[in-house]
Structure 1
């Protein structure tokens, strides 16, 4: 599997509707379409998350903050 194959798998997202505690679950044909739907919902002020689907083959590197100085 190439590094880009994971982006072509179905991905389920969850978008909060206007009622507290209720979510709409949508399955989209690719991760890219799911990402666009999540971004569109967030731009409308809604909570939106990736619920299920393929993830990056290698997790992104996160910067580790330096430890605070000990006195």
Structure 2
């Protein structure tokens, strides 16, 4: 493998890592804000919730089920 091809591969790997780290950073920020009991009306907290909801996408609440059939009366 030539030096030029190796350099390009390293740059592509760095790009993928940065793209993967951004959602982890945002979700980590949201966890930290929740642990610190940050006020939900704060713009930073609101932004973190919006972005985290977008990142969750279709995987948000995958185990929510209709509980009407469980009720007995």
- Specify if TM > 0.5: no
Structure with max Cα Rg: 2
With the length of structure 1 as denominator, give the TM-score of the two structures. Answer: 0.40
Q: Identify the structure with the greater strand proportion.
A: 1
Q: Identify the structure with the greater helix proportion.
A: 2
With the length of structure 2 as denominator, give the TM-score of the two structures. Answer: 0.40
